[in-house]
Amino acid sequence: MIKLVVFDLDNVIIDGEAIDEIGKLMGVQDQIIEITEKAMQGNMDFETAIKERVKLLKGASIEDIKKISDEMPLMKGAEETIAALKEKGYKVATISGSFDLIANSIKEKLGFDYTFSNTLLEEDGILTGEVIGPLVEGSKFDVLSKLVEDEKISLEECVAVGDGANDISMIEAVKIGIAFNAKPALKEIADEVIETRDLTDIISLLENKPNLEKDKKQSTKIEGNLDNAMDKKDEYEKKLSKISEEREQFNQKAKKHREIRDELNNSLKENLNVAIEFRDKRNKINEEVEKNKKLRDKANEELKKMEWSSGRRDRMKIENEIKKIDKIIETRVLDIKKENKLVKDANDLRKKLMEIQEDEGVHEEAQKLKETSESYHAKVVELSEQAQENHESMLEYFRKTDEIRTNADEAHQKFLEYKNSASAKHEDFKSVLGEIHKVNKQLGGMRSKRKDIENRASRKKDREEKEKAEEIYRRFKEGKKVSTEDIMLLQKHNIV
């Protein structure tokens, strides 16, 4: 059963990073953001990051920082979420590497039961550039462990909500760790991830807690100690590496066939463009062919009209009659009287033919029209041959285009096959990564519990040593002899 919900402050309860806003006062916002990002991504330890950032704040006014605190916007749903959690009987706390000037103000606004943060040192209302507090050298897990001990509850009765790498220690340790608009390093180990910037989503998540806990019970079971858990993680990581390698091989093959496909498609476009160019040339030439045909036919029509109007029709008629008579005389057996009559008729027709004179001007014009017609006809023949050549070239490039399209389609099918295989491997990759995440979560819990036990033992040892040191000091005041070891114990606990 959940009894305590712990929140980070910056970018979780408040919509922003308090130290960035303070940095604006000193004109060092960009440097602070850069350091913050490194820390949130897990590329710089928090102690170094907080000390480096606070140095940049030296000289800032406490009064100005208080104004910033009053103006800092809350994350959407913050008030409703905290109120709802408290109504359910949960205790709520913030554990933040931010500063008490901000954290205490938020505690009063929202009614947190506890708030843990650092303190900016100041002299006469001006920051010295130094910081102290439980979260400078200690981790959020350390603070949470102490709070859990004081509340007499266990980490299994806690929920933690954070957004950066410095939240990992407490996210790993609790029953339900929630990454809220978090960096990848935190998402990797969290039980739940919320991508919206609305804290009320946490309420619905916790209302479904029975289902969530049921899912957690179905997680990978790690029997035995930390070494067994690490062995299990190594096993999954080897499997993950193999799947990753196979996925990469499929991706490389898919990439190769995609490149082949794209190259073929480019070639297809080029060949298609050439085919279209030949088609356009053919069509343009055919237009010229049709134009010259019309001009030729027009010249022939004019020539025909001219020939009939110049007496040529009569000449041709007489010539045909003479040919008929000559053929009858040559092919038939006639009596002398009929034959003589046919010979006379033919001679009369020849005389009549000689009397018909063709107009010289008309004859010359007809000759020119004939030459014009022949010129147009020659052009028709020449252009038709050119059109045919372009037509054949067009067909050749269309055939090439079809061949290229077939090869491109085959390459595309291969690309899809390898891409689908890579996607299937990626799903396997995500599945194994999920198992690694579960193991990491359990490892985190084991480490946290072990550290919790070690811390408890250490604090117990310190208490026992201090009691012993106080007893030594009492005996020392009574004049009894103390050893070098006793003196060192007194110094360790600042009794002398």
Residue 45 annotated as catalytic = no
Contacts of 152 (CB under 8 A, 6+ apart): none
State how far the alpha carbon of 66 is from the alpha carbons of 24, 29, 101, 125, 210, in Å: 14, 18, 7, 11, 42
Beta carbons of 183 and 172 less than 8 angstroms apart = no
Contacts of 278 (CB under 8 A, 6+ apart): 390, 391, 393, 394, 397
DSSP structure class, residue 165: G
Beta carbons of 477 and 469 less than 8 angstroms apart = no
C-alpha 440 chain-centroid distance = 28
Separation of alpha carbons 18 and 21, rounded Å: 5
Residue 10 annotated as catalytic = yes
Beta carbons of 4 and 153 less than 8 angstroms apart = yes
State how far the alpha carbon of 163 is from the alpha carbons of 59, 327, 385, in Å: 29, 120, 78
Separation of alpha carbons 152 and 493, rounded Å: 27
Contacts of 418 (CB under 8 A, 6+ apart): 250, 251, 253, 254, 257
Active site residues: 8, 10
